[in-house]
Amino acid sequence: MKGSLCIAALLAATSVQAQAPLERGKYLVEGILTCGNCHTPRGEKGVLDTAQRHAGGPQVWETDEYKVRPSNITPDNATGIGSRTNEQVKAAIRDGKGAKGEQLSPQMPYAYYKIFTPSDLDAVVAYTMSLAPVSRKVDPPVYKVKNMVVDIPPGAEKPMPASAMKDPVKKGFYLATIGHCMECHTPLVSGHRDFKGALGTGGEKFPGPWGVSVSRNITQHKESGIGAWSDAEIKRAITQGVRKDGSRLKPPMGYHFYAKMTDGDLDAIVAYVRTVPAKE
């Protein structure tokens, strides 16, 4: 089994290298990154309005540090990112820096994007800047403090070497990180993600048109987590939103985005999740 995972990882790495930047960027943006989950308006019952894809989301996030809405990330010059350079867009994604160098709200998960390989980051920017411009004004952010808390997952502080993609677990960690899985599945303690003490234990509530969903425990705990789930059951939950018992997951779990992932990438994520220590 281990040997087959290694072969799959090598083939997937070769496939990534063969992809053109726009193709790779589309695969990431419309898949594992779930950019549209926040940056696309929603219609009735929270259904994404694909006619205005990436033109800014409807939700409002307010904390003691900020009040923000998901911005328009189409290349519209007036209401989107069309007037920015590629380097400015990269800085926003990777470093959380606005067009004037200001710190962006960490609601934008740039803490999880520092791990981006240079080629993947270039691909994401290339694809985003190739989108059809959509004119849609979004309320500007309100920042209540100068320096906002940013929690970077351990091991994700710098770009992942391309050579690491040959290891299924490391590749899975990379994908789960840029997919900011642990942002939802790790609880906040005293205003910080408790990566050290409660990685993957879930419990965060997400209210929306779907009601209130709660992120589940994705550690290897046999009862509280997914330690008793088969690989196929984990992949079904990721791509179809169906639990081990057959019940349905609620949004904002982005399973319809994850359904676009390759089998090799899904196998790598499962390989990584299998290493997350069991905790209640």
Binned at pLDDT 50, 70 and 90, residue 126 comes out as very high
Tens digits of residue pLDDT in 23-74: 999 999 999 999 999 999 987 767 888 889 999 988 899 999 999 999 999 9
Give the count of beta carbons closer than 10 Å to the beta carbon of residue 173. 25
Please state, in angstroms and rounded to a whole number, the distance separating the CA atoms of residues 221 and 227: 5
Tens digits of residue pLDDT in 140-188: 999 999 899 999 999 999 999 999 999 999 999 999 999 999 999 999 9
Burial class (CB in 10 A: 0-12, 13-18, 19+), 280: exposed
DSSP for residue 142: E
pLDDT reported for residue 7: 46
Tens digits of residue pLDDT in 239-259: 999 999 999 999 889 999 999
pLDDT reported for residue 210: 82
Residue from 153, 146, 156, 152 nearest 104 by CA: 146
Please state, in angstroms and rounded to a whole number, the distance separating the CA atoms of residues 259 and 34: 11
List residues bridging with 207 in a β-sheet.
Answer: 212
Helix, strand, coil shares of the chain, percent, nearest 5, are 40, 10, 50
Please state, in angstroms and rounded to a whole number, the distance separating the CA atoms of residues 182 and 85: 30
SS3 (DSSP) at 49: coil
- Could you tell me if 262 and 15 are in contact, meaning their C-beta atoms sit under 8 angstroms apart? yes
Please state, in angstroms and rounded to a whole number, the distance separating the CA atoms of residues 182 and 243: 18
DSSP for residue 188: E
